[in-house]
Amino acid sequence: MIPTIAFHKNLSPFSALVYGAWRMADGSDTSAQTALKKIKLCLDLGITTFDHADIYGDYRCEALFGEALKLDPGLKHKMQIVSKCGIKLISSQYPARSVKHYDTSAAHIRYSVDNSLQRLGVERLDALLIHRPDPFMNAHETGACLDALVKEGKIAAAGVSNFSVTDFDVLQSAMQTPLVTNQLELSLLAQHAFLDGSVSQCQQHQIRPMAWSPLGGGRLFSNETAALRLRPALQRLAQEHAVDVDAVAIAWLLAHPAGIVPVVGTNNLDRMARLGDALKVRMDLETWYALWTLAAGQEVP
- The β-bridge relationship of strands 158-161 and 179-185 is parallel
Give buried/exposed letters for 166-201 (b at 16+ CB in 10 A, else e).
Answer: ebbebbbebbebbbbbbbbbbbbbbbebbeeebbeb
How far apart are alpha carbons 156 and 114 in whole angstroms? 14
Q: Per the residue annotation, which of 56, 94, 102, 111 is the catalytic one?
A: 56
How far apart are alpha carbons 283 and 253 in whole angstroms? 10
Residue 15 φ then ψ, to 5°: -80, 150
**Closest by Cα among 136, 197, 131, 126 to 160:** 131
Over its C-alpha atoms, the chain yields an Rg (Å, rounded) of 19
How far apart are alpha carbons 142 and 111 in whole angstroms? 13
Sign of CA dihedral 262, 267, 271, 276: positive
56 is known as an active-site residue: yes
Sign of CA dihedral 287, 289, 290, 291: positive
Give buried/exposed letters for 122-132 (b at 16+ CB in 10 A, else e).
Answer: beebbbbbbbb
- State the catalytic residues: 56
